[in-house]
Amino acid sequence: MQTISIDEISISNPYLRINTNVDKLKKSIETVGLINPLVINNKNELIAGGRRYKALRELGYSHVNVVIVEKDEKEQELISIDENLVRKDLTKIEFEKCLSRGKEIYEEIYPQAKKVAQEDLTTPQDNEIQVELPNDRRSFIDITAQKTGLSKKVIKSAIDRDEKSSKAVKELRKNGELNASQANEIIKLEKEEQEKIIDLVKEKSAKEIKDIVKSVSQKGVDQTIEEVISKPSLSKEYKSAATLAKRLNKIMGKILLEEMSCEHEQMDKITKELNTLNNQILQVLKLNHITTTTFENDNLKENLQSSKIFSEQSVSIGL
């Protein structure tokens, strides 16, 4: 470790995060000093420690402790990526991009290491970190999992999303219009197919996208698009109603199964809300020309006498 003038350090590395808030870091440095020195190359270019550099600058340090590394450009880039992955929260897209690039460099530097593509993460045992292997033979996701505390499966999925997503998918994820679960289904298609169906799937759930992807694999993208367009779509209000109804059915099923009565002071308010909900449900059923005769079925009444059976049937009858 050496000490050099902070003015001698040049900032050009795109991985450096010098535009973030460093107030907490400044307080830490003022309290305990700089624990981890800056990392530079033999040209005094900063490789790792962008936030520490900014904090030291703002605190008025004229000289700083540095570690000089003698590495080629690829290895320097890997150090910068490692710094980002371990020390600073990234956006999901930045995180995935760093992982993907880190894997690419790592497997180039260490050709003898196990390839990420060779990792079979279908069982809990396969997800275990292989600490008994030499570092230069462990896979990139194995080492990264140990450093970050994330599971190997999470890291592998993140790398797949960066490598397999089309430009449109990445753009929607960047804008917050697609989540990881949706993207995980879309990337099962070729990038050209993703581009063709993206406008159809961006507002659909992961389960709906899964069905569309399955249809593409069976019928082709053009026929699938035609069928999706011609098929009436379920509004977001009815989707929300279905989700809430399922949750409420489970709650009501538990109350009936355990015969849970309630004498709380808020019971009057709860009863009023349930009565209002019941009336609105009946109106929605009527609006959709759905009769309520099913609720008067003698066999159903007999089933309702058993709380256990009611709990199992509550979803199907819509109570």
pLDDT tens, residue by residue, 159-202 = 999 999 999 999 999 999 999 999 999 999 999 999 999 998 98
- The rounded distance, in Å, linking the Cα atoms of 170 and 149 is 25
Domain end point (choices 112, 133, 162) = 162
| Chain centre distance of CA 251 | 28
Residue 301 has pLDDT above 50, yes or no: no
- The rounded distance, in Å, linking the Cα atoms of 274 and 248 is 11
Which has the closest alpha carbon to 140: 162, 110, 170? 110
Residue 316 has pLDDT above 60, yes or no: no
Domain end point (choices 230, 247, 282) = 230
Residue 306 has pLDDT above 50, yes or no: no
Q: What percent of the chain has pLDDT over 70?
A: 90
Domain limits for position 148:
90-162
Instruction: With respect to residue 12, please indicate whether it lies within any of the assigned structural domains.
Output: yes
Q: Are residues 6 and 63 in the same domain?
A: yes
Q: Are residues 153 and 142 in the same domain?
A: yes
Q: Are residues 156 and 180 in the same domain?
A: no
Q: Are residues 218 and 278 in the same domain?
A: no
Q: Are residues 190 and 132 in the same domain?
A: no
DSSP secondary structure of 165-184: --HHHHHHHHTTSS-HHHHH
State the pLDDT confidence band at 121, using cuts at 50, 70 and 90: confident
Instruction: With respect to residue 225, please indicate whether it lies within any of the assigned structural domains.
Output: yes
Q: Are residues 242 and 218 in the same domain?
A: no
Instruction: With respect to residue 77, please indicate whether it lies within any of the assigned structural domains.
Output: no
Q: Are residues 240 and 311 in the same domain?
A: yes
pLDDT tens, residue by residue, 204-250 = 889 999 999 999 999 999 999 998 888 877 787 888 898 899 999 99
Residue-level pLDDT at 293: 57
Compute the C-alpha angle 73/139/51, nearest 5°: 45
Please say whether the beta carbons of 84 and 20 come within 8 A. Answer: no
Query: How many CB atoms lie under 10 A from the CB of residue 134?
Result: 9
Q: Which of 120-124, 173-177, 266-270 has the lowest mean pLDDT?
A: 120-124
Instruction: With respect to residue 83, please indicate whether it lies within any of the assigned structural domains.
Output: no
pLDDT tens, residue by residue, 14-46 = 888 888 888 999 999 999 988 889 999 999 999
Instruction: With respect to residue 66, please indicate whether it lies within any of the assigned structural domains.
Output: yes
Residue 303 has pLDDT above 70, yes or no: no
Output 9 or 235, whichever has higher pLDDT.
9
Q: Are residues 39 and 59 in the same domain?
A: yes
Instruction: With respect to residue 258, please indicate whether it lies within any of the assigned structural domains.
Output: yes
Instruction: With respect to residue 13, please indicate whether it lies within any of the assigned structural domains.
Output: yes
Please say whether the beta carbons of 107 and 80 come within 8 A. Answer: no
Q: Are residues 250 and 308 in the same domain?
A: yes
Residue 125 has pLDDT above 90, yes or no: no
Query: How many CB atoms lie under 10 A from the CB of residue 115?
Result: 13
Instruction: With respect to residue 78, please indicate whether it lies within any of the assigned structural domains.
Output: no
Residue-level pLDDT at 294: 52
Domain end point (choices 181, 203, 230) = 230
User: How many domains does one find in the chain?
Assistant: 4
State the pLDDT confidence band at 122, using cuts at 50, 70 and 90: confident
Q: Are residues 258 and 293 in the same domain?
A: yes
